[in-house]
Amino acid sequence: MRELTQTEAIDLVGRYEAEQAIPEQMRSDVRMLGTLLGQVLRESGSPGLYEDVERLRTATIQAYTDETPEAFARAAAIADSFTVARADEVARAFTAYFHLVNLAEEHQRVRILRERDGRPDREQATDSVAAAFVRLAAEVGDDTALRRLQNMRFHPVFTAHPTEARRRAVSTSIRRLAALLEEHDASRRGGVNQQRADQRRAERRMLEEIDTLWRTAPLRSEKPAPTDEVRAVMAVFDDTLYTAVPHVYRRVDDALQGPAAGGRAPVVRPFVRVGSWVGGDRDGNPFVTASVTRKASAIASEHVLLGLARTAGRIGRTLTLDATTTPPSDALLALWRRLKAADEDAAKDIAKRSPDEPHRRIVLLIARKIEATRARDADLAYADPEHLLADLRVVQDSLVRAGAPRQAYGHLQQLLWQVETYGFHLTELEVRQHSAVHAKVLAELGSGSPRSELAEEVLDVIRTVGFLQERYGPRAAGRYIVSFTQSAEDLAAVHKLAAYAVGPDGRPPVLDVIPLFETFADLQAAPRILAEIVEHPEFAARLEATGRRLEVMLGYSDSSKDVGPVAANLALYEAQAKIAAWADDNRIELTLFHGRGGALGRGGGPANSAIMAQPPHSVDGRFKLTEQGEVIFARYGDPAIAMRHIDQVAAAILLASSPSNEERNRAAAEKYAGVAATLDAASRERFFSLVKAPGFAPWFARVTPMEEIGLLALGSRPARRGLSVESLEDLRAIPWVFAWTQARINLAGWFGLGTALDAVGDEPLLQQAYQEWPLFRTLIDNVAMSLAKTDDRIALHYLELGDRDDLAALVRDEMRVTRDWVVRITGGTELLGNKPVLQRAVKMRSPYVDALSLLQLRALRALREAPEGAPVDPELQRLLLLSVSGVAAGLQNTG
């Protein structure tokens, strides 16, 4: 098949882009950014690079649209024709393109959100907290709805699981480009001549930044240390979360109170709490030590106290309210005397600069006390966040009494919300350790032999929790998660270790020990284990002290790897239903903590639809989940997107426990129990036929870049538990998912579903279940997205790297059957036909991802065909790793 002429290539690319029905503004952004990247490639000093990139781009678009073997073969031949050095450059170019396309798409989302916010009916968006409140109030009454809103809790927990393939330097460059894209938009609002000048200036600066992006090494040279991972998360807090969360509270209050908002006390209470495993999760990560945990808390505290001090100072400088128009209360005057006595010189200077402005004086001195807290000035520092809140409320109350409620409930209220949300610790640091480590250390301590390094480290972690509680407050740390909990004794072990840590005369820290049920068997045993542990003395005492509150964590990743995605989803639902019923029977306020990954094979997917599909009483206004890797930056990297995400999730939390939603889920679970049983049995049998086949694990390692993924410096945590992969148990869930994603098979997200649906066999029944059964609908929609990112032809080439035609046929047959059933159940003629926006995003990227996949295949094939014992070719290995990073950017997920 001949190559297209330049004119034919331009026509093909234009027709392809037009078919995707991309919004005009986004199309313009993509075209402009792509043109600028093309200019950078021409100026790169590598002759012919731009032309080679265009050849491969045109060929993969033609192969994607024609779907002929000849077109695909031509694209593969072009990829194979490059020298390794040229293939390296081409892979980098496509990766840069994906970063720019992702940026344009994110910018379009922000643009739409701002347009929506500008409409007078914004508060009526169907998936906002305000709309959810109206719907809930219609069912349970205004008072009950308000009580539920005020008791609601959304608790994202950021983790350092290695699923962010981008370097931080690349992410920072993209954020700078985002700001320049904003400027480019703003330039369109001036006069014609000014528009042109401003646009040229913005495009020149974007060209400079894209050149920087191109010249920045896309791969980390070494794995980040845990403290590096802490600082990466802090960037999200500084850039978005610190201001975005109180803005969400404000928006909800504005919608609920209407014109009265800001002039009277808010009805909204802070409902977000941010947790972190970064620097606290030591399960399988030997680099997270007690010392690292202390440093992680110190870094987080530094960031939040710096933010609070600056905010208080800014508010203080604007409170230029004269004492005659806004007289101080007696309590405010008493507070002034107290603060003045503690900080005389500063008080004298502030009083001189703020004559007859008592509220301004107080807030400026409060800002100094917050700064002293950050600097650890014991004479001036606040003892804890509660003392700061008390001082701020004195100021607020004085303003209200003086007839200045808008000053009381304006920016000052937002500062109060920030302190209530973040305290002095910012993130509630959680410790996680494997139950087997605890058992080993307890056995050693009980033997009376000298303490090993491991034992000392485990005990020091518990002492560190106590230290953090004393320094930053009880919310700073205390949750202790026991992974692979398989008995009540696994949980009791933590309290026994705490007694060893402090000795007979010491006082152990306050510990909330949280079981993590991960495998299929552990999920089934969960209710029995919980019933046993609540009888344990220390556990029972803590339960009573918290008002009978209990957290239980459910692991999505290992259960999916254990029995397959379909059976795992059903098992998780059943476990939640049983745990929730047990908690209700025992008057326990339950919070289920969902250990969801970013990818669909690890429980990923839209959080709000997953929340609405939960069993009755399993949410009850509280939702906690892990957010990790690329998901953190996708959901919280931009302020507008972060606010929208929090608003959507909070709305789902509020509605999940409405009588109508709980009845819908209960009735559907009963009606389709027989379907669920068939899906469970058939999918599990099919999954086992693959993963339990002799030699499966080595075959999997050969047909995917699984081994090479471990070489990527993604995170501080090792990718696998042992030195080699002889069984699935050796492999962590993230590389299991990541490897299948890279091979364009995404097996971890769908395998077994097609056979299970075949076993049910009743198409009208399954279509009806899709409409009536939220759990099933969520499963089908997630699988549709997973399959849409697969590619049959590329998958075939990966599977051919192995020597097991039987396993390859099993995978391809299941993919075909699953795709066919999902299309029939959802309606239409192709995947995501009922979700056009999502379908457009996938189709827009697919041919470009194909280009990187072909480059990756070329490198992987050469590495696999090398003689046994031969040294690894470093250039091929680098090409492979570059393509892995690029495919992750293109598909917008890793593990």
Q: Which residues are catalytic?
A: 161, 561
- What secondary structure letter does DSSP report for 729? G
Which pairing describes strands 549-555 and 477-483: parallel, antiparallel, or unpaired?
unpaired
Question: Are the C-beta atoms of 805 and 629 separated by less than 8 Å?
Answer: no
Residue 782, SS3?
helix
Q: Closest Cα partner for 595 from 548, 631, 637, 567?
A: 631
> Which letter does DSSP use for residue 442 in this model?
H
Neighbouring C-alpha atoms within 13 Å toward the C-beta of 853:
30
| The Cα angle at residue 281 between residues 280 and 284, in degrees rounded to 5 | 145
Q: Strands, DSSP E only, in 421-470?
A: 428-434
Distances (CA, A) of 414 to 155, 397, 633: 19, 15, 24
Reported as half-sphere exposure (CB side, CA atoms, 13 A), residue 361 has a value of 28
Q: What are phi and psi of 119, to 5 degrees?
A: -85, 145
Half-sphere exposure of 576 (CA within 13 A, CB side): 30
How distant, in Å, are the alpha carbons of 293, 526, 562, 676 from that of 518?
Answer: 24, 10, 9, 21
Quick check: 731 and 724 in contact, CB under 8 A?
Answer: no
The half-sphere exposure of 772 on its side-chain side, counting CA atoms within 13 A, is 16
Count of residues making up the chain: 895
Kindly report the number of other CB atoms within 10 A of residue 38's CB atom.
16
* Joined tokens for residue 765: 């029944």
Q: Which residues are CB-contacts of 131 (< 8 A; sequence separation ≥ 6)?
A: 123, 124, 125, 651
Here the tokens at position 504 are 């007979």
Helix axes 49-66, 84-117, angle to 10 degrees: 70
3-state SS, residue 265: coil
The answer to whether residues 439 and 486 touch, using CB atoms and an 8 Å cutoff, is no
Angle at which helix 84-117 crosses helix 192-215, to 10 degrees, equals 140
Three-state DSSP at 165 gives: coil
With tokens 């820290």, the residue in question is 509
Token pair of 775 as six digits? 């759990």
CA distance 37 to 282: 41
Q: Which amino acid is located at 546 in the chain?
A: T
Q: Judge whether 605 and 782 are in contact, CB under 8 Å.
A: yes
CA distance 129 to 154: 12
CA distance 188 to 210: 21
- CA 497, CA 456: separation in Å to the nearest integer? 11
CA distance 778 to 750: 13
Of 895, 643, 714, give the one whose Cα is nearest residue 170. 714
Element (H, E) at 554: strand 549-555
- Going from the C-alpha of 248 to that of each of 241, 440, 645, the distances in angstroms are 10, 46, 10
The strand pairing partners of 132, in sequence order, are none
Q: Are strands 512-517 and 153-159 parallel, antiparallel or unpaired?
A: unpaired
Distance, CA of 218 to CA of 883 (rounded, Å): 10
| Beta bridge partner(s), residue 477 | 429
Structure tokens at 835: 């979700």
